Structures are given as structure tokens and as C-alpha cells.
Amino acid sequence: MATTTEVHWSKTEYGLDLDPTLCKNLEASGIHSFFPIQHITIPKILATGYTKDLCINAPTGSGKTMVYCLPIVQRLVNRVFRRLRAVVIVPSRDLVVQVKKVLDGLVLGTPLTVGVAMGQSNFTAEQRTLTDAKGNSLVDILVATPGRLVDHLEQTPGFTLQHVQFVVVDEADRLLNQSYQDWITKLYNSIYVTESSLENLNRGTALHPATIRRPDGKNPHRIRIPLIRILLSATLTRNPRKLAAIGMPHAELVTVNEELNVASESKVNLFATPANLEEGMVECEAAEKPLVLLELLHSFGDQLTIIFTSSINATHRLCRLLQLYATNPESVREYSSTLNQKQRSQLVQACHRGTIKIVVCSDAMARGMDIAHVENVVNYDVPPYIKTYIHRVGRTARAGRAGRAVTLVKKGQTKGLSRMLAKAEKAPLPVYPVDAEHMQTLVPRYTVCLASLKETLAKEKAGHLGLTTGISVVVGTGVIVGTVVIVGTVVIVGTGVVVGTGVVVGTCVVSSSWVPVIATEGLSGVALTVVVFSDGLSLACVGVDAFDGTVMAGVGAMVDAFGASVDALGGK
């Protein structure tokens, strides 16, 4: 298990003398100690006169965000005039929201203001939150995606990086590998003003010439504004060209090994995983993968699990299959591009509340997804690169907690996986145990759900079912309530749409031709999903409690367990 170092915030043994309000905010956030990477880097950044650039390599979940958030707030808390003095650049909107949440908790009660710049928001409204009509900055700290930052540099009057003291690039490997409107060049063109652009800048910005940052040695007023650049990633680059491109050819490299010591540059492990992560693999035929996954999920019990696939299409198909199989389909969700920012935030919150237990996603969506207390990661498809593997398994075993990562490997992929892991100086994965005997008991239900999946996807293709519409499933054979017997499998998809096979027999017989006469309005936020069928003489009711998956049924009227009256069903 990773350890933490106890710290007394007001005056630490490392010489930190933190602002009293910042100390209160740390305590209020439940932060009472430093993780190893924080222990090493925070005192370094806050040391008097420190202006070096930093490349920080540490596993996901090791506390990297606080490494830069705390020093930024401490350095700026006593500023006199509001200027944009810190820019944090991240690759996704989700990360913007997460980093801002951390910063908001730290600046509470201080004069500092945190702003954001990201897509899927009104650009004009966003401009008004960043600068006023005179070109003065309205924020001290900005968290932005690179493309949106470029938009403001080019289109927002008075928006400038002239006073910036911190440039932070989080998830640096991804940002340096993609151009994002040539953001690096435009970033530095704004930080360092040339003579040719100085006149244009002064016309739109409330700046005094003495505060204009120019390349070293070219400021006649000799006011030197310090600039610290920080790169962070679990898979840190040492490519000299990439570091030079961002102006950091001589950056100081900082990492933490399993003994929690600083490593030299020659010993930096560029692909770090948490020491408390249990890793394993299951080798199987391609056709067996869904069944092996179901057995793994059964063994995990009620633990929060993220499943990674190789594509958006595979993510959706697998999520639908798991929803059809699940006792409580609402506990299985897909994290995909079909969700807007609000829906993604709601999904993350539902994971935190414990109402969602399984999240299926692709690599494209996983970067920046911050779901706390993930206990298991399953690589349903073998990742193509070692960096991808590191980022996937980094979703668990965070902040010193234990975690587990299991990779499903098709026949013939084992050697390739071992070669990939060797690039990170990792041994081949051990075999993860699977109960093959119990797995065979899952086959009948899995076979039925596989057939229902085909019908469900056909409904989506025909436009009768939304890609994110919830699913409720009634499965089994047996007497449920009174004289009603459900035989076979009834799958209720969306609102009043029924696919699958099965019959309800009893006082009322509804054969294979289902006739839904009334249904609840979907599953989201509804405790009970009910579909009422009629043979023209009486009613047959089938319902699923969305909280615990309990199956309930009745004939002619709703039984008390439904918590609804006969009148509410439109029949007596």
C-alpha cells in the first residue's frame, strides 16, 4: 500500500508556511497528509526563487492534481491586482470540470477566482466571464482545453497570457501528441510579446508596458515575471523534440518509485503503475469473452468496475448485453460520446452514490474520466499500446487504495501482451483464476440475452429506441405473485416497447403477441417500471423494482407491492 506523510498545514516540517485560509480549506476537504509525489514536489515549487520547469511522472491517482493546484493558490493568494496568472491545460471537458472543482475548494474564502474555457458552452457567455469591457481579466486561474484556449487568444478582446506565472499541462503525453489548432505555438506567442505585436496588444488590453513579458533580456523596464512550466503524466515523454517544442528542453524530471524515493533521470520509469495494484490475465477463445466477463463480474460482486473496449461500437454492444443480463440494468451504463457534458457528470455522480456499478467505455472516452473508488478494471480488449494499458489500469488503485486489473486475452495474444508490458519493465501478467464450473451455469441466461441483444440493436437502428434509453429485464421461470406465472424471458426496453419471447399465464393468458396498453415513462429516475398487457378481457401486469431488481406481477389489478392503484393503470 502507498503511504502518506502527515503534515501540519500551518507550519510544516518542510518549511511551508501556508496561508491560513488555504490551511482551513485543506482541512475542510479532508486533506491531512501528503502523498509521496506531493511530498517531493510541493515544497520544491514553493521554495523561494524557484523558477525551474518540472516534468512529473507518477501513476494516475497518486495526487498529481494537488501537486500544482496547491502551489498555484499559495503563490497567488496575496496578489494585489487581478490578472490571469495561471493556466492549466487539459485534454478534455471532463478534466476541466474536475480540476476546477479542486481549485474551487482551495480558493474558497480567498480573493482568487477560477475560470474555465471549454467546448459545449456558449462562447460569448464564456468570454464575458474571462474579461470585462475594458480588457481587464476577471479570473486569476484558468482551466482550459487547448482548442478553446486558442479561440480566446484569437477572438476575446483583452485576453492575454502576459501575466501568467504558471503554465500546467496535465495529461501531457496526449496533449503533446496532438496539434489542437497549433496551440503550443499560439500559447508562447501570447506569453512572449514581440515588438510587432506590442502595439496591437496595447490597444485591446489594460496593460502597462513595464508588465509586458518579452523574451529574456528584451524588457527595457527590467521587470521579470517568473514563469514555471509543469508537465504531468503517468506516461511521461522524454522525447527531446517534444520537450523543446513546449520550451522545456532542460526540465527537471521528478518521479516516485515503489520505495517512494526520487529517481534520477536515467532511472525514471516512464510507465508507472501503483504498487497496490493487483494485475492478472484470462486467456480464452474470442467467443468465450462475454461469458468470461460475466463470470468475472459475478466474482467481483457489488464492486465498482470499469470495462474497456477497443471501439465505440464495441462499447455500446457490450453495454447493452450487460444491461440485458443484469438483475438491475440501471446499474450498468455506457460512458460514450452520445452523452453530453451534463449526462457525463450525472453518470460520475451516480457512480459516487453507488447506484451505478459497471461502466463500459472506450479509450477515447476514458482519458480524464474521474470516478472515485473504482475497485476493478477489466480490459475486455487487449490495449494496443503500453501507454493505453497504463492509463486504463490507472483508473483503479488510486490514492493509496487497493485495486485490481484483469485483461482478457484471446488465444495467440499472450506473447504480444508480454512484449508490450516488457517495455514498461513489467513482468508477464499472472493467470487470474476463473470458476469454469460456475461459468457454465450462466450459459442459458446468456444465450437468451444474446438473442435479445440482436432485437434491441435492431430497434435502435430502426429509430424505435434511443442509444441511451434504459432497459429493464424480467428473467426466469416460476410463480412470482399469486396465480401469475412468468415463463421464459420478457425484456422491456424503453417506454412500452417489448422485445423477446415469453408468456404470462394464469387467470389472464397473454400469448406471444404482446399488447402493451400502458407503461411507465421510462426507467430514469423511476423507482418502478410497469408494463400492463391485455387480452381484451382482463389485465396482466409485470413490473421491475428499479432499486433492487425485484420482479413483481399480478393479474387484473396491481398488487400492493407495486405501490400503485388499479385506477392508475387505467383499468379495474
User: How would DSSP label each residue in 218-273?
Assistant: --TT------EEEEEESS----HHHHHHTT-TTPEEEEB-TT--BPPGGG--SS--
Distances from the Cα of 52 to the Cαs of 47, 68, 102, 187, 203, in angstroms?
Answer: 11, 14, 24, 19, 33
Question: Is 37 inside a domain boundary?
Answer: no
Question: Under a CB-based contact definition with an 8 Å cutoff, are residues 347 and 359 in contact?
Answer: yes
**CA 70/CA 63 separation, integer angstroms:** 11
Mean pLDDT, the chain, whole residue set: 75
Do 222 and 283 share a domain, yes or no?
Answer: no
149 and 223 fall within a common domain? yes
Which residues, in sequence order, are CB contacts of 480 under 8 Å at separation 6+? 486, 551, 552, 553
> Which is higher by pLDDT, 383 or 501?
383
Higher-confidence position of 196 and 182: 182
Angle at 75 between CA 72 and CA 76, to 5 degrees: 85
Tell me which of 434, 455, 484 is where a domain ends.
Answer: 434
Name the pLDDT band for 146 (thresholds 50, 70, 90): very high
Same domain? For 152 and 260 the reply is yes
Per the domain annotation, does 168 fall within a domain? yes
Q: Give the structural domain span for 283.
A: 277-434
Give the residue from 267, 294, 323 where a domain finishes: 267
Structural domain includes residue 303: yes
pLDDT tens digits, one per residue of 470-500:
664 443 333 223 333 333 444 434 333 333 3
Predicted local distance difference test score (pLDDT) of residue 305: 98
- Kindly tell me if the per-residue pLDDT of 246 is higher than 70: no
How confident is the model over 277-316, as pLDDT tens digits? Answer: 999 999 999 999 999 999 999 999 999 999 999 998 999 9
- The b-or-e profile of 6-39 (16+ CB within 10 A means b, else e) is ebebeebeeebebbebbbebbeeeebeebbbbbb
Whole-angstrom distance, CA of residue 76 vs CA of residue 107: 10
Asked whether the predicted pLDDT for residue 200 surpasses 50, the reply is no
Say which CATH number the domain at 417 has. 3.40.50.300
From the CB of residue 368, how many other CB atoms can be counted at a distance below 10 Å?
Answer: 20
Which of 210, 235, 267 delimits the end of a domain? 267
Q: Which amino acid is at 479?
A: V
For residue 18, which amino acid is it? L
Q: Indicate whether 123 pLDDT > 90.
A: yes
What is the per-residue pLDDT for 402?
87
- Residue 452 is assigned to a structural domain of this protein: no
pLDDT band at residue 155 using 50, 70 and 90 as cut-offs? very high
Q: Give me the number of domains the chain comprises.
A: 3
Q: Flag whether 88 is in a domain.
A: yes
Domain co-membership, 263 together with 285: no
**Per the domain annotation, does 479 fall within a domain?**
yes
**According to the model, what pLDDT value does residue 47 have?**
86
pLDDT, residue 470, reads: 64
Same domain, 475 and 414: no
Amino acid in the structure at residue 542: V
Q: What is the pTM of this model?
A: 0.57
Could you report the per-residue pLDDT of 522-565, keeping only the tens digit for each?
A: 333 333 344 444 434 334 445 443 333 344 444 333 333 233 32
Task: Give the residue among 264, 249, 322 at the shortest CA–CA distance from 473.
Answer: 322
Round to whole Å and give the CA distance between 164 and 176: 20
Q: What percent of the chain has pLDDT over 70?
A: 66
- What lies within 8 Å, CB to CB, of 199 at 6+ separation is none
| Residue 230 clears pLDDT 50, i.e. is over it | yes
For residues 174 and 351, the model is more confident at: 351
Residue 427 φ/ψ region, left for φ over 0, alpha for ψ in the -120 to 50 degree band, beta for the rest: beta
Tens digits of residue pLDDT in 359-405: 999 887 666 577 888 999 999 999 998 888 988 998 898 767 889 99
Q: Are residues 158 and 260 in the same domain?
A: yes
The residue length of the chain stands at 572
One domain, residues 299 and 418: yes
**pLDDT value at position 370?**
72
Confidence of residue 245 (pLDDT cuts 50, 70, 90): low
Look up residue 194 and give its three cell numbers: 514581440
In a domain, 27, yes or no: no
- What is 259-276 written as a DSSP string? T--BPPGGG--SS---TT
Its sign, for the CA torsion 463, 464, 466, 471, is: negative
Would residue 495 count as lying in a domain? yes
426 and 478 co-located in one domain: no
pLDDT value at position 158? 92
Output 489 or 425, whichever has higher pLDDT: 425
